[in-house]
Amino acid sequence: MTDSSTSPGDGRVTEFGYTQSLERSTGRFASFAVAFAFVSIATGIFTTYGSVLTSSGPMGIWTWPIVIVGQLAVALLIGSLAARIPVTGYAYQWVSRLANPVLGWITGWISFTFLAIVVVAVDYTVAATVVPALFDFTGTPATAFLITAGILVLQGLLVGLSTKWTERVNNFAVTAELIGMVALVVLLFIVGVIAHKLSVGNLFSRGAIPADGYWSFGTATSAGPWMLGFLLGAFTIVGFESAANLAEETKKPEIVVPRAMWQAVLASGVLGFLFLLVVTAAVNDPAALAQSGTPIADIIRDILGSFVGTALLVLVAIAIFACGLVILMSGVRLVWAMSRDQRFPGWQALHKISPRFKTPLNATVTMTVISAVILGLFSTSTDALFKLFSAATLLPAIIYAITVALYIATRRKLPPSKGFTLGRWETPVLVVAVLWLVFVLSLFRDASFRDPWLYAVVMVALGAVYLCYLLVTRGRHGLKMPEMSSIDAEFEDAA
């Protein structure tokens, strides 16, 4: 039943053929916090900084500003779609309605495979890098598996039992992350200057990476050293569109969600780059640090000492926990949205909203279990963290490319947005987004990404089997989306 207590701008779900079944209580800060928490510069930098030192050296951090420009362009375009179709399911909904349900289902399945693995990658960061640094022990694949599994279960309980408490925890964690990252930047800079431990020369050092071919674009099966540095930002600045996956729970989503996206990218980009600059300047021996499993934690403790360093690492752990929490919640909403349309395996149970908790409880349990299985498959590897974050970088790039291509194909016939528009900036933003996505996808030709591609292929193949089953049993007409009455009307008016 549609919630009649919502304001006129909040009841748009009925325009897309659905009834309001989720509580619409998410406000502006909570929407921003969802997008910011998913991006989580603390998570991305703690996870990938060591890999960048190994592949690109300290100078690899200068790829970050380029990533921000590219991802900001993508966020602006996606925000334009989110303002027009503010329905849970984000890319699955947009592509299904503006292209066709088959391509939309494929996009939704790829989004699901991304969310299922990225929550593992994020939680594994706590287990593999932060917890060992906090409790001063050497982690093993076994300890990382157990800690990550425990974190997944706790996140699943929160998401499944209370959306309100999930948002409260996330709001607190985002506030802690903002305070913690700003404090880290300021303290590392001040203490580093006083102790003469900052070196501007580090910012332009290649570390142990040979000069020969450093700036090369690479070959047909490998990317050049500096080019691999782009993965630092490409892994971190993703997931901002998660705010759109809570559109049916957000007040005035056509206004709030697009703003949450671009603000999260911009805030994360600026704060993250300041942190990278001061951390890299504080590196004592880049070549030696590249061999550490916890390079960021090592730098913090070296400059700030064990007490302050430990306190700030606790804040980082909270931020990373919230990142995984938001990812799991976004994945649950996607599974629920596809199940509501009767096109996700087990939809008969997964589309239900718990009458007691007012959450998609069955979808939460399923998403948590699937992520735990993925954790088990990857955790036996000695370089599990690299494989996880590589797969979690590849898949969103594919999703963004599909969405931007759709935007290009349909933008001339899209109805006017009620909340967000690019106006005359649309064309230049499109150009930047396309150039960026073509470039970032080209990086994954490197042979080191064989396992992430294998994961993507296997998951897509599994999805293809189920899609064929849907097409055989229902036909293309059976996958038709509920009517978009408001958009259809505007198409007719425009004609």
**DSSP string for residues in 164-209:** HHHHHHHHHHHHHHHHHHHHHHHHHHHHHHHTT---GGGGG--TTS
pLDDT of residue 5: 38
pTM of the shown model = 0.87
pLDDT of residue 160: 94
Give every CB contact of residue 412 below 8 A, 6+ residues apart in sequence. none
Calpha distance 409→48 (Å, rounded): 35
pLDDT of residue 484: 57
* Secondary structure (3-state) at 222: strand
pLDDT of residue 382: 61
Calpha distance 361→367 (Å, rounded): 10
- With contact defined as beta carbons under 8 Å apart, do 139 and 127 qualify? yes
Instruction: Name the residue with tokens 């596809």.
Output: 338
pLDDT tens across 125-137, in order? 888 878 887 888 8
Calpha distance 478→470 (Å, rounded): 8
Kindly report the number of other CB atoms within 10 A of residue 193's CB atom: 12
Q: How far is CA 167 from the centre of its chain?
A: 17
Q: Which amino acid belongs to residue 135?
A: F
For 307, counting Cβ atoms within 10 Å of its Cβ (0-12 exposed, 13-18 middle, 19+ buried), the class is exposed
Using alpha carbons only, what angle is made at residue 181 by residues 167 and 259, rounded to the nearest 5 degrees?
A: 50
Beta-bridge partner residues of 26: 250
- With contact defined as beta carbons under 8 Å apart, do 204 and 21 qualify? no
Domains along the chain?
27-494 (1.20.1740.10)
Give every CB contact of residue 120 below 8 A, 6+ residues apart in sequence. 148, 152, 371, 374, 375, 378, 388
Q: Comparing C-alpha atoms, which of 405, 398, 384 is closest to residue 443?
A: 398
Give the up-direction half-sphere exposure of residue 61: CA atoms within 13 A in the CB hemisphere. Answer: 25
Q: Low-confidence residues of the chain, pLDDT below 50?
A: 1-10, 486-495
pLDDT of residue 438: 95
Give every CB contact of residue 112 below 8 A, 6+ residues apart in sequence. 331, 334, 335, 338, 344
